[in-house]
Structure 1
């Protein structure tokens, strides 16, 4: 998975990223859109507001499924 331009591979690296991301800032998140690009690719858009630099952002979660599991995730503005 890739977030803030950094790629994290493997369960341990992703768990570390998730723990850090969840505790670094306080924010609210709202799903504002979602659609299926093709049978294996999806895009979800979330609006975040909180105490991070800039205070508000719309993020696009582009992910690929393989055998019902997320194979790749890229989070970007």
Structure 2
């Protein structure tokens, strides 16, 4: 029997997800990377980054590439290990405003996989 995603309050998000989102918003790369497992992957803008060194480089680059604000607009629990956080980004990037889904897969309390897409 499959379960349907359930809306969640932002405060219901797992600790690793909250730590990542808050650190990313604050451009705190060291804290953001601590939310990931050692062999995690991130897919963003059609590119996949594997392992903490590649993810750390992606985080550092993405924090200075554009100036933007991030607002958490929704959260959803798919199951115990899969969560989606929807963020509205507004800034000086092409288009200026975008709603992005951050799809998290957790293993042992850390982010194993993150896919960011509209």
Quick one: distance in 1 between partners of 2:99 and 2:76? 16
CA apart distance, 1:71: 0.4
Q: Does residue 1:2 correspond to 2:20, yes or no?
A: no
Q: Cα RMSD between the aligned structures?
A: 0.4
Q: Which residue is 1:61 aligned to?
A: 102
Paired positions, count:
77
Higher strand share: 1
Quick one: distance in 1 between partners of 2:115 and 2:97? 19
Normalization by structure 2: what TM-score? 0.65
Q: Which residue is 1:45 aligned to?
A: 86
What are structure 2's unaligned runs of at least 5 residues?
1-41
Quick one: distance in 1 between partners of 2:74 and 2:100? 10
Quick one: distance in 2 between partners of 1:40 and 1:11? 20
Instruction: Detail structure 1 runs of 4+ shifted over 2 Å in the superposition.
Output: none
Task: Write out per-residue CA displacement over residues 15-43 of structure 1, whole angstroms, 9 at most, x where no aligned residue.
Answer: 00000000000001000000110111000
CA apart distance, 1:63: 0.6
